[in-house]
A and B are shown apart, each in its own frame.
Chain A
């Protein structure tokens, strides 16, 4: 199998499997990091000083070190230091370890975006709700939340598109995502070896997916453009 056209069906199949793993990591990260980020942002805004200080130091550590390093530490640390490889050795273990690292990392970035969004809503909005006799929950869910969402959509779309590409970092602990799948054909896999084009071809997947997301976020921004906040 030497010609591109002979190789294509096999490579395409393998890359699809790899990209499915990429998508899974992407989705699980968002599912975990979006709510966790909110909790962290409340922590960093806490009026109890020790809590906010502790949370801010944590956010600083996570945002101040490479995600790749965090992946390696989270994956290898329990096994090497405590002799207790909690993640297990297989693809499932690598996936869970990757998901944990990505969720923590992205939750910290999201928390800072949320904080900006929450603090950006003028205090007068809350006071207007208070003098009308609304409860704190009603003020948050019926008044502040949508204004906050409108403010955070542009920075969140940036982060989420970055996440699409960051999933490739999980390659470092051999998660079988799309880059890993493409690289396999350089070393040799399914009768194809020394082929570099499959690795380059993975770029098409990232481009297509981030293109879809760009359109989606553009649509959301447009949906929210009926009011100014």
Chain B
């Protein structure tokens, strides 16, 4: 079943045309990795999906519901926007945990404020999530007491607590020391095993190859090549060949 349809997405910042007609679909339970060099528009695409940016052209459809249509002039109200955002979760490159809250409070803050259940239910689910990212022992610690890898795992649990349809990752390991990337990738892999629908912007080619159902290679604001992870072994386009040799 198709969860996400992106149609002809275009976005410019001033004269810089960052996205030039992006089309793709994603099925439920699929993992999509987006690769490409810096400035190719990967992060902008994720930010458009999460309504942190608004595309100039194109449509975004989640579960058959059009959540964004650039041809409709009316800017969505603050309240509408908040509902649309809940289809997606986003894990940031630099974690963005709330420093004044403990691990548990980081995970429970949004569900509690948005009344996603009773306090007890929310806390129970949060404890399960924190356990599933392997941080039960750190549940009452503050972000400044955690390593980068641990912080990113908390950020994943925080995003999952809102039960998004699609979880997005924006270079989740790029701000980590090499020895810490493994623990974060392991968590993402375990989510893939549980059939979580995910979009991962990453530079970890091996990981993308192993974990993904679909790969999109972006270059200069367009999808230069897409397909199964096999395209990483047998790239058709010269641009992808050139990109892969740089690793």
Contacts and interface: CB of A to CB of B under 8 A. Distances in A.
B88 interface: yes
Interface residues of B, number: 29
A143 B113 CA distance: 12
B86 interface: yes
B98 interface: yes
A-side interface size class: 20 to 34
B99 interface: yes
A134 B96 contact: no
A66 interface: no
A146 interface: yes
Contact of A136 (B78, B90, B98, B144): B78
Contact of B96 (A124, A146, A226): A124
For the residues of A in contact with B, the DSSP-based class is helix
A80 interface: no
A142 B50 CA distance: 21
B72 interface: no
Given A226-B142, A229-B100, A133 B82 contact: yes
Nearest to A127: B52
B40 interface: no
A133 B52 contact: no
B158 interface: yes
Contacts of A125: 96, 98
Contacts of A130: 51-52, 85
Interface string A111-131: 000000000001011011111
A100 B223 CA distance: 62
A228 interface: yes
A138 B100 contact: no
B100 A146 contact: yes
Contacts of A122: 96
A134 B92 contact: no
B83 interface: yes
A147 B100 contact: yes
Given A227-B144, A228-B144, A132 B162 contact: yes
B51 to A, nearest CB: 8
Contacts of A133: 82-83, 85-86, 110, 114, 162
Interface string A134-152: 1110100011001100100
A143 B52 CA distance: 18
Contacts of A138: 113
Nearest to A149: B100
Interface of A: 122, 124-125, 127-136, 138, 142-143, 146-147, 150, 226-229
Interface of B: 50-52, 78-79, 82-83, 85-86, 88-90, 92, 94, 96-100, 109-110, 113-114, 142-144, 158-159, 162
6 contacts: A124-B96, A127-B96, A132-B162, A133-B162, A142-B109, A147-B100
